[in-house]
Structure 1
Amino acid sequence: MASASLSEDLTCSICLSVFTDPVILLCGHSFCRECITLSLDKQQHCPHCRTPVPTEGNYLLTNHILKSLAEKSKEAAKLKREYRNEKEVSDYNETEWFCLEHEEKLKLFCVTDQQLTCIICRDSERHEEHKFKPVKEAAASLRKDLDMFMLQVSADIRGLEGIANTQREEMIKTTESCNQLKTHINTQFEEMHMFLRKRQKEINDELKNKEEDALKKMRWRLNSLETALSENRELEGNVASILENKETERFLETWTDDDTTKTAKNTFKSKTENFQVEKASISLGPYESHLQFFVWKEMLQVIKPREEMLSLRNDDTSLCVSEDQRSLIFCNTKRSSDYYGRKPTQPYFTNSIDTFAGQHYWEIDVGELTSWELGIENNFLTMEGNTYEICIEDSYETLKFTGRPRRIGIYLNCSSKELSFYDADKMKHIETIRLSSMPSQVSAYFKVSQSNPDHTPLTVCWY
């Protein structure tokens, strides 16, 4: 009871803990310095008895007696906790290494059950035919195994750290690469924007010049009209002034004296017939109806890089190649062979004369052909009827792509070993394949089937 009373006397009534740096107020009550300081910031009186507390001068005096008692109380509580912890450890050590069932010291380790046992446990039915080791021997063996395991874990950690560092480097490279691509994309679009803004200004300037020329002619016509109108209004005013005379003698005298008006009357001719409204028919030609198409065609002249203007190889095959080396057809009729200047022989595929390294794009007009193969040798897109397949090194995969585009776009990136195909009518992606290997030089691959009955040519697109 005395200990509990002492603990209450050493407790701050604000924080309900043993005093820390206690101070005493003029009313005699004590509090922690921090607690009473925060309290007085809100209300200027003792929290216990409500006595006003002055805020001037040194009004918070240290209570040295309470401070000493509080520190001794804290030290005693600390020693008590340490003693309790030591006792718990001692009690654990005394009971942990003895068998709770037989009260014998645990001298053996059951390898089978992976637990400490006493000698009596070893001979019990529960551990029959189990393997045992002395505690020290089992500990040494386990420690050796754990040391080896630690080496494996450490080696794995080093390997994982190396992979993680490499992954971080790849992330940095990817970010840098994307930033470079963003810069490249923004630069390319800015160049197109600059071209479009320049052409927009040029076309607007042309329109403005035509407008100014037309308005100049209209202003000259309007000035002439206003001059004639002013002359007629002056004449009208003079005649009206003469007609205002009601007396016959004055009216006649005024008329006879006004030679200017008489002359104007005798020589008057209608000026309306001499004037017509000046009209302007301003035209920008095709820029009125086909502006986007014409500007797109103009832009093609400055866009770089452009599509590859391939030429087809004119080998001794069943494919007849046109004189400009852009078109080919399966030569199984006299009409087609005469048209393309070739005689049919086998086989019926060919390659481009051009070879590639780097990044390239070309387009092929397949028209109404129902059977063809396009790409590079051993890796291509094939269409048979309405079914599209991707061929990768003689392995075929059917695609979900539907539609019948007239033009097929092929993009080859030799550095990343990627071959992509597009519906060039809508610039819609069809499929991308990764190439297992990439020769130093590759050429475009073309094939048309003898099953095409309409003999429509396959043509390389040049813009």
Structure 2
Amino acid sequence: MASKLSFHLTCPVCLCFFNDPTILPCEHNFCRQCIMTYLDSGATTCPECRQHFRKQDLKGNRTLRNLVEDVQQKQKTIKVKDLRQTSRNGHEMLCSDHEEPLKLFCEDDQRLVCLICREGEKHSGHSFKPVKEAMKEYENVAIQAQSFFSDENKQVGDMIFNQTNEITKSKERFKYLEERMHAQFKKMHDFLREKEKKMMKELQEAANSAETTMKQNASILGELQINCNKQISILESGLKISQPEGFLQWWSEEGFLLVKGITLSENKDIKSALQATSRLKSNRVISDHFTIGPYETDLPLIVWRDMLDFVKEGMNTSTIDKDLKLSIRKDGHLQFEGQEYFARNQKFHNGYKDNYLENIQTGQVYWEVDTGTEPGWEHGLTVRYYPKDKNASFLRTLLSYKSYEKLSLLVKDNSLYAVRGDEETLLVNQVIPRRVGVYIDCKRRQVVYCNADNMSLIHTVWCADK
């Protein structure tokens, strides 16, 4: 029953008990700070039901606030009562082995001991401290640990909030692309209707896959926050104990194991909790990462290429050659020095040359390469990515061969591999295409390789993810 009640008293944004609960016109409740931060981000719809609301629509929920305070007070009372029952007559704790007062704390075993225990073989050579002195020392450790978990808890809350925004952006992006594609496909006839149906399916699958991944990440972050709340609650309960014996008994049973888990693995001294390493290094907010490659920006031209008789009429050779190989370029706004950019090998009459590069600093670029007929065709698939370096000029970055990351496709042993720097990744279930399309989106730092004959995706590289 208590678990069900706690669920209804929890804010769906921060997953903690409501703090100054605020109700929306749709009757969903949130912490006032959570919903105000949500509004400041530009959102205008309820995170639960997507019903629109305004800032002036927010109202405090006094009944819910009183209920939360009552439940929290009862939980605190129960915890304090349980801790008090651990001591004999509420005054002095006795050793279970010798029935003597526990006056010392063994720093090696992290346990309360009596004077007889100190002289025993079990604690031979160990270091001991009086309980009051030990409490003062380890109470400071517990305070530091509490601050550590509180900071982590806030970071997780921010990550969950940002992840929720990313999911909303993903849905809006899907709607935008869907509307855009419908408008373009309406200009075409029966052949294009079938193409539209196929592309809508691929877009839906990409959007669903991205949303599923982000929701799974949000769930993981939620579980991490729940664990943080439990750990903070345990530390808070221990820090409320004023009696040294009672505190150190709690420390032996709960506090020590909890704090030990956040200290550096190579540091065996529990008193160095200030050097605790955050566990959030492996966690991050997954951005709105899904793509359908060049179809997003150049759908009409690429689809027209499939309609051979139609596309040959009125198309000039600057965008499509006699073999209907495309080369498309759309420039965006100019970028400043120190920004990341891409480069590709230039092609001459006798093939591609490594020493001649075309810089791609802005916009989108798409080109196609025949894998069998062109000499040195693999160089045509090679893309160089130059990460951002604010301290280096554009010319210096360009001339520094060590500053770029090499991206390419490789055919080896009748298999297709994706190359990133010195790392080769086998592309499972991928046939070697007759013609490869390469698509670069500078703004999104994205490189896409696809089978140019049917525009099926081969491999995508997000250069900012590594």
Task: Decide which structure has the larger Cα Rg and report it.
Answer: 1
Structure 1 length-normalised TM: 0.37
